[in-house]
A = this chain, B = another copy of it.
């Protein structure tokens, strides 16, 4: 039952190849839209071997979730040692096999399995810590909602990742590209530029925002649906 380590002269274990192919295939077609046969073809094995190693398609999907979460956690730990930025997924973009994981996340985040939910909770906790550090050094502004602000910022980042196709069409920036590539980084500026402007100066007049916020809290019979978006 131990993990196979028969990495002799050639490539990865067949089990690892199946898992990587599943991550790529699920990312490309969605979990429901990707068949076991397609995953097997991508790994160069028979469909039966996929079931033999993972038991079922659903278990394969769980294994993908666990693996993606594990890699992200490891990259995160390395990023902490190197001095983390604000983007909890930045380390993935540069990592060797990070991009398929990013695309897998982008495709499966909306489905919401238990494993990725736990990962998200963890990332929110990390982000809250990073944000608190930034506040202490004066680079970030203090907040009345430390944990909620961390959650919102992470959800915005991941939401943009999930809508990556629309980000690319509307702005020309591919968030699942390797930002080490200068061309991709320049294109990503169409997203990060206005984002940084918003992060720097905000969007609204402060008094206006405060009034809207105060209108939320007590909750008498205020006006009709005028959400802040």
A contact set with B: CB distance below 8 Å = 30, 32-33, 82, 85-91, 93-94, 106-107, 109-112, 117, 120-121, 124, 134, 138-141, 143-145, 148-149, 151-160, 162-163, 165-167, 169-171, 179-180, 182, 185-186, 188-206, 208-210, 212-213, 216-217, 219, 224-229
Are A143 and B182 in touch, CB under 8 angstroms?
Answer: no
A97 to B44, alpha carbons, bound, how many Å?
A: 48
Are B152 and A195 in touch, CB under 8 angstroms?
Answer: yes
A contacts with B: majority SS: helix
Chain B contacts for A186, CB-based, 8 A: 216, 219
Known: A30-B32, A169-B117. A226 touches B90 (CB 8 A): yes
Could you say how many copies of this chain the assembly holds? Answer: 2
Are B90 and A225 in touch, CB under 8 angstroms?
Answer: yes
Are B141 and A201 in touch, CB under 8 angstroms?
Answer: yes
> Which of A82, A156, A219 has most B Cβ within 10 Å?
A156
Chain B contacts for A212, CB-based, 8 A: 196
A51 to chain B, nearest CB (A): 20
Chain B contacts for A85, CB-based, 8 A: 225-229
Chain B residue at minimal CB-CB distance from A214: B196
Known: A180-B225, A192-B228. A141 touches B216 (CB 8 A): no
Chain B contacts for A229, CB-based, 8 A: 85-90, 153-154, 157
